[in-house]
Amino acid sequence: MVATSRRADDVTKALGTHEGLLAFTLDVTKRQDSERAVDAALKRFGRLDVLVNNAGYGVAGALEECSTEETLAQFQTNVFGLLDVTKAVLPVMRAQRSGHIVNISSVGGFFAGAGVSAYCATKFAVEGFSEALAKEVAPLGIHVTIVEPGYFRTDLLADYALKFAMREIEDYAATSGAVRKAIPAMHGKQPGDPRKLALALVRLVGESKPPLRFLAGGDAVQVREQTLNALREELEEWRELSTSLAYEE
């Protein structure tokens, strides 16, 4: 197994050392790091069977509060970083005619909440390119699964990991402002167990017909059901107008 981080030492501190583990430095915002990581994996293990794209972070702030620079940085890591790593791995999996790409999205990849506009935009993007990719590589024996977690007890909401838009606008105090206060308070209280999710991913990549999308956590299932119900209601409310737009000969 190859485990990567922006500092390989962080992997070693967390997992120790083992002959079956290669700890490697990988900053997904640097394309050459992705290519070097793939080369190192092939040199050590001879093939690549599973890629888990888990790099990402969140920026809390309303759309108007997030600067262009803050939004671009969010996309650079959460979207383009995943794209570069995936592109580095695809030639190997194509040659093997096998492989499984697991892209970690979020509940925020299908339900956008106030105060996390940029983050949700990146996760919607991950969902879009992953779904298209799944159709492109299916004939080549490669699977793609989009994982949509709810809240899991990781460090994503820790002080050092969560970022806030530098600008605050008073008019958004009841929406974005409330989220800025609520999210940090959730750290350490998230209902999901990361170890159980890891085991679930192991099971998924062992399936002959894995899902395109996998909801992770009871909260994610609940949000999906609510979202589907709302979409259905809106569809029916506007069906007549939507279907009245054809040319009339």
Place of tokens 């590589």: 137
pTM over 0.95: no
The per-residue pLDDT string of the chain (249 residues; one tens digit each, 9 = 90 and over) reads 899 988 888 888 888 888 889 999 999 999 999 999 999 999 999 999 999 999 999 999 999 999 999 999 999 999 999 999 999 999 999 999 999 999 999 999 999 999 999 999 999 999 999 999 999 999 999 999 999 999 999 888 887 778 999 999 999 999 999 999 998 888 889 999 999 999 999 999 999 999 999 999 999 999 999 999 999 999 999 999 999 999 998
- What are the domain boundaries of the chain? 1-46, 49-242
Q: Which of 34, 106, 117, 119 is catalytic?
A: 119
Pick the CATH number of 49-242 from 3.40.228.10, 3.40.50.300, 3.40.50.720, 3.40.50.1100: 3.40.50.720
- Find where tokens 């509060």 sit: 65
Q: Which of 106, 117, 123, 151 is catalytic?
A: 123
Q: What distance in Å separates the CA atoms of residue 106 and residue 63, rounded to the nearest whole number?
A: 19
Catalytic residue among 105, 106, 130, 176: 105
Rounded-to-integer distance, Cα 166 and Cα 67, Å: 8
DSSP letter assigned to residue 145: E
- Specify whether 209 is catalytic: no
Cα separation, 144 vs 131, whole angstroms: 8
Is 105 noted as a catalytic residue in this protein? yes
